[in-house]
Each structure stands twice: as C-alpha cells, then as structure tokens.
C-alpha cells in the first residue's frame, strides 16, 4: 500500500497488482494507519481509496489467510475500513474488479466513482462463506433489496453501468479515469465549508436507520451550530459579493 497527498486530499492506493490488490494483514495494517492519519491530520479533508494496476481489489488474500494472517482488524474491520467510524468523507475510485472484500471496501466509502469497465461482486456463497464485512448489511441499503438479494444469493457480478443506474456508483468515467474523477469530487468537497461537510457526513451516518421524525430531531441537533457559524455568515456574504468564500472552520 502507498499514499499520495494532493493538497487536502489523501489518496490511499492498494498496491499489490501481482495479487490483484488482495488484502493481506500487512496491507490491512497499512490502510488502517493511513485512515488514522486522514482522521487525525487537520490539513487533510478528504480521502480517496483506489487500487493499482487497473484493478480495485480482489478482497481478502486467501493465501495469506491460509497462512494464519487476518486482514480483519478489531473494531475497524476488514482492511481497517469496513467497521471504522469516520468523520471525513472517503471516495472510492474503482477500475476493474472489486470482488468480495473489495466490494465491501467500496460499500464502506461515501462516494463511488467507477470506470465503465469496473465490475463488482460478492461471490462468497460460491465458496461456502458469506460477506460479513458490509456486503450483507450495506448492499441492501445501497441498492434495491431484491437486486442485492440476487447478487448475494448467487454470487453474480454487477457491471459499473448497471451499478450506476441502481445508485451504487455516483459517477462513471472512461477506463483509466476513475482516480481523476474521484479527485475531482474530492476537490469539490475540499472547496466546501469544512463545518458543513462534517455535519453532512454525521447526519448521513447517524440518521440512515431512523424513522423520519427521529431523523429530523437528530439532524437539527447536529446542524444547529453550523447554521449559526461564522462560515454560514461568510457563505451568505460571499454570495452577495459575488466572490469565493473564505472559510475559517468556525
């Protein structure tokens, strides 16, 4: 695994192309450390997760697993991501296959940018196992339940264009363009007000399973300070003065 910094964006690259970027224990620990860096560094606002060599990830490295390694890390889950609590947005940039745990990594991200040639799949049932790191729980919440059920019960693959139609993928690019597309999305997030971005992330995460009335109550508590912030006043002034806003994060 390697990382790159693009301004306020941290790019995390799964870099084991010889293993189709399958995740072994060392890779999981490295991703976990990178995501901790993203969370702790105030200069970093957004993360991008991608894979090297034209493949996103083949999921768990089964050879490493057979040697006794585990890419599932305590409270943060597979590759240190699938069960991690995050306050900063993470964008997936998907080229080629995202299989098994690879699709679960995608499901753990907030925004998904994919090449038209990308393919997703959770083939665990064909190997006598299931997808417990987000596949079973998150996929039916991201796409229609009947479609998710078919994919989970059969192990069939899902192409990027169909995934975009279903809402799993938010933006399609030409082959080779997923990372550039993800960076474009990330830079748009960076340009937005940091307090507002943080509030949106929390509301999305904390109200997803609540009834509407409870969701509004929780939302109101989370956004109250943002609506009274100096940045909110600056946003209005900048609009009126036809200039770019100067965010202070307060």
Per residue in 174-192, pLDDT tens? Answer: 999 999 999 999 999 999 9
Point out the catalytic residue in the list 25, 95, 117, 124. 124
Tell me what pLDDT residue 81 has. 98
- Structure letter (DSSP) for residue 60: B
Same domain, residue pair 148 and 47:
yes
- Is 246 within the bounds of a domain? no
Report the C-alpha gap between 45 and 197 in whole angstroms.
Answer: 9
Torsion over CA of 94, 124, 139 and 25, rounded to 10 degrees? -60
Say how far apart CA 140 and CA 137 lie, in whole Å: 6
Q: Is residue 37 part of a domain?
A: yes
Considering the domain boundaries, does residue 160 fall inside one?
A: yes
Known active-site residue 104: yes
**Confidence tier at 65 by pLDDT (50, 70, 90):** confident
Same-domain check for residues 22 and 93: yes
Q: Kindly report whether the global pTM for this prediction surpasses the value 0.85.
A: yes
| Distant-in-sequence, close-in-space partners of 82: CB < 8 Å, separation ≥ 6 | 76, 101, 104, 105, 107, 108, 133, 134
| Full residue range of the structural domain in which residue 230 is found | 194-240
- The domain total for the chain is 2
Task: Say what the pLDDT of residue 70 is.
Answer: 94
pLDDT value of position 66: 86
Instruction: Give ∠ CA 178-182-185 in degrees, rounded to 5.
Output: 145
Asked if 76 and 169 sit in the same domain, the reply is: yes
Can you give the pLDDT at residue 62? 87
Query: Looking at the structure, do residues 210 and 183 belong to the same domain, yes or no?
Result: no
In a domain, 247, yes or no: no
What number is the average pLDDT over the span 129-151?
97
pLDDT mean over 181-209: 97
Q: Which residue has the tokens 């229609």?
A: 144
- Please say whether the beta carbons of 71 and 27 come within 8 A: yes
Catalytic residue among 104, 164, 212, 214: 104
Query: Do 125 and 148 fall within a single domain?
Result: yes
Whether residues 70 and 131 share a domain: the answer is: yes
User: Above pLDDT 90, what percent of the chain?
Assistant: 98
Please tell me the least confidently modeled range out of 28-37, 60-69, 126-135, 209-218: 60-69
pLDDT band for position 121 (50/70/90)? very high
Q: Evaluate whether residue 248 is within a structural domain.
A: no
The burial of 167, by beta-carbon neighbours within 10 Å (0-12 exposed, 13-18 middle, 19 or more buried), is given as exposed
Active site residue 4: no
204 in helix, strand or coil? helix
Average pLDDT value over all residues in the chain: 97
């Amino acid at each position: 695994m390697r990382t790159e910094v693009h301004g306020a964006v941290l790019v995390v690259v799964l870099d084991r192309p010889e293993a189709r970027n399958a995740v072994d224990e060392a890779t999981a620990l490295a991703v976990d450390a990178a995501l901790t860096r993203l969370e702790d560094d105030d200069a970093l606002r957004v993360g991008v997760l991608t894979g090297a060599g034209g493949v996103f990830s083949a999921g768990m490295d089964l050879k490493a697993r057979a040697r006794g390694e585990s890419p599932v890390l305590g409270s943060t889950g597979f590759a240190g991501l699938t069960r991690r609590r995050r306050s900063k947005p993470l964008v997936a940039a998907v080229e080629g296959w995202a299989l098994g745990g690879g699709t679960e990594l995608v499901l753990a991200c907030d925004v998904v940018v994919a090449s038209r040639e990308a393919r997703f799949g959770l083939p665990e049932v064909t190997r006598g196992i299931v997808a417990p790191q987000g596949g079973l729980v998150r996929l039916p919440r991201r796409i229609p339940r009947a479609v998710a059920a078919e994919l989970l019960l059969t192990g069939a693959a899902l192409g990027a264009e169909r995934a975009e139609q279903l809402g799993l993928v938010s933006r399609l690019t030409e082959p080779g363009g997923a990372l550039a597309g993800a960076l474009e999305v990330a830079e748009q997030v960076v340009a937005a007000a940091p307090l507002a971005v943080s509030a949106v992330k929390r509301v999305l995460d904390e109200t997803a399973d609540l009834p509407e009335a409870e969701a509004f109550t929780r939302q109101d508590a989370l956004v109250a300070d943002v609506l009274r912030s100096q940045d909110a006043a600056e946003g209005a002034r900048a609009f009126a003065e036809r200039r770019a806003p100067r965010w202070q994060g307060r």
